[in-house]
A = this chain, B = another copy of it.
Amino acid sequence: MEFTIKQIAAMLGGVVKGDTSAKINMLAKIQEAKPGQIAFLSNPKYEHFIYETKASAVIVKKDFIPKKPISSSLIMVDDPYSSFTVLLEEYHKMISFQKEGIEEPCFIGDNSTIGKSIYRGAFSYIGNNVKIGDNVKVYPHTYIGDNVVVGNNTILHPNVKLYAGTVVGSNCIIHSGTVLGSDGFGFAPQEDGTYKTIPQLGNVILEDNVTIGANTVIDCATLSGDSTIVRSGVKLDNLIQVAHNVEIGKNTVIAAQTGISGSTKIGENCVFAGQVGIAGHLVIANRTSVGAQAGIPKSIKEEGQKLIGYPVLDVKEYFRSYALFKQLPDISTRLRQLEQKLVAGQSAVKSD
């Protein structure tokens, strides 16, 4: 990107104080910004940075009054943080949608339709009866099975695998090696100890604005007509396991290596740290926050709790108990001493 400060101010509906012609080519934190970069000041706590920053421009509140001279141009707006995130997203789009056209060889099956401004990398595979929207980027080695639907402006990085029947919304980003729609883990035990494979006939649905990291797996639902569903705005990190028939509520964020077992329903706006394990057939309330490596064996009914541990406890409760876990040798010793004293005491009483 390269824009003048004037152009950026126009984009944000802001007013410039200072030089309007300087070129901006990057976003940065106010304390780290260099010339040619733009930063923002929202929290008054960080005001001192604005008097030292090397940023060519800083986005500030429209009622901001400097207490000292500032070398940067100021762009005055209603909400600096929100304006800055608008720029972040614009910049993200600009660098993400550069690829366009078709590299050969690539494969497309029968009756598939693709939109405008698409990128189809070499060795990408599109099956039969696929529908792909406008401005979609299909990087090399990506596989799109039969009957898949992909919405506008979605980016499929190299080597994404969409099994037949998967539905991906608009403005989604899926990173390398991620698999959507593999078979749920379902087997019917037989009397002789073997298992028969239960056909997995459902699919995976991603709504709009979903981002998924690398090498994550989401299994399809078991029954035909059913779906494993990832709701709008969900952000999943790398190496996550999402089993069959799971539903993840809007705007929930899940960090790397977490696993969600079959048929569990995760609420909206939840935050899961890394390596969390969640059992099957649970319901997790909205705004639940779960610490790293926690284990969730039961449904969480109350909204907005902060949990940790295996099985999960309230964060404070867990750390109080864990502090005492470390003191168990001391507790055990004191208990033994008490027992001895009491025996001695009782003898003393008796001998009195």
| A→B interface (CB under 8 Å) | 26-28, 32, 81-82, 84-86, 88-89, 91-92, 95, 103, 105, 107, 121-123, 125, 139-141, 143, 145, 157-159, 161, 163, 173, 175-177, 179, 182-183, 185, 187-188, 190-191, 193-199, 201, 209, 211, 213-215, 217, 219, 223-224, 233, 235, 237-239, 241, 243, 250-251, 253, 255-257, 259, 261, 268-269, 274-275, 277, 279, 292-293, 295, 297, 310-311, 313, 317, 320-322, 324-329, 331-332, 334-335, 338-339, 341-342, 345-346, 348-349, 352
Contacts and interface: CB of A to CB of B under 8 A. Distances in A.
7 contacts: A84-B188, A85-B196, A107-B140, A143-B158, A195-B251, A259-B274, A324-B331
Contacts of A107: 103, 122-123, 140
Contacts of A95: 199, 201
A165 to B, nearest CB: 11
A253 B349 contact: no
A293 B295 contact: yes
Contact of A190 (B82, B223, B256, B317): B82
A215 B274 contact: no
A175 B220 CA distance: 12
Q: How many copies does the complex hold?
A: 3
A175 B196 CA distance: 17
A92 B123 contact: no
Contact of A88 (B177, B188, B233, B275): B188
